[in-house]
């Protein structure tokens, strides 16, 4: 796994094989950040990475200038790996938090400019992520949310849905907060 762009471009990250994750492919990650970069200047923005896993998306946000990146996962090993990686790279903007994602959504008082969620594809409440984020007002005005999901899931009827993109087996649905 590598960081695709920004300050830490080409840095290789080697997560342990025993982490219970499904990392976003480099092709999909590069495509995702091309889309995001055309819509949002990430410099000095705040980002939330739900179901962060290895932290790959969090590292990309930090590498591309986000001033604060909150990386949330309930798995202790994932959070420990991210803490070690951000310490090794000196990524002070990445803040790993061990928490269940839906609990974090309900409890946080923070707002974010961009939110990325890559839940397990078999998550029963996957369709409710966007509505929960919007209901709890986690996005700043004009903020963006991206949800990675399997092709069988259609999020186009969700409030604030903008578009769907597919890269091989990876699907992204984009949402924008109403002003």
- Convert the pLDDT of each residue in 30-51 to its tens digit: 899 999 999 989 999 999 999 9
What three-state secondary structure class fits 34? helix
With a cut of 60, say whether residue 129 has pLDDT above it. Answer: yes
Contact (CB, 8 A) for 2 and 26? yes
Percentage of the chain lying above the pLDDT 70 cut: 99
Give how far Cα 131 sits from Cα of 23, 53, 65, 136, 173, Å: 24, 22, 28, 8, 13
Q: What is the pLDDT of residue 26?
A: 79
Contact (CB, 8 A) for 22 and 120? yes
Q: What superfamily would CATH give domain 43-176?
A: Vaccinia Virus protein VP39 (3.40.50.150)
Per-residue DSSP letter, 42: -
The model's pTM is 0.94
Domain locations in the chain?
43-176
């Amino acid at each position: 796994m590598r960081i695709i762009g920004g300050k830490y471009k080409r840095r290789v990250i080697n997560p342990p094989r025993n982490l219970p994750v499904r990392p976003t492919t480099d092709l999909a990650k590069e495509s995702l950040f091309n889309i995001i970069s055309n819509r949002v200047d990430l410099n000095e923005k705040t980002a939330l990475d739900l179901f962060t896993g290895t932290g790959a998306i969090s590292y990309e946000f930090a590498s591309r200038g986000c001033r604060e990146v909150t990386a949330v996962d309930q798995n202790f090993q994932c959070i420990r790996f991210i803490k070690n990686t951000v310490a090794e790279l000196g990524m002070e903007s990445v803040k790993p938090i061990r928490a269940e994602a839906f609990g974090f959504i309900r409890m946080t008082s923070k707002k974010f400019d961009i939110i990325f969620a890559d839940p397990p594809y078999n998550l029963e409440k996957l369709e409710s992520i966007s509505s929960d984020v919007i209901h709890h007002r986690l996005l700043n005005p004009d903020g963006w949310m991206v949800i990675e999901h399997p092709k069988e899931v259609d999020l186009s009827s969700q409030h604030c849905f903008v578009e769907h993109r597919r890269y091989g087996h990876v699907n992204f649905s984009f949402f924008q907060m109403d002003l």
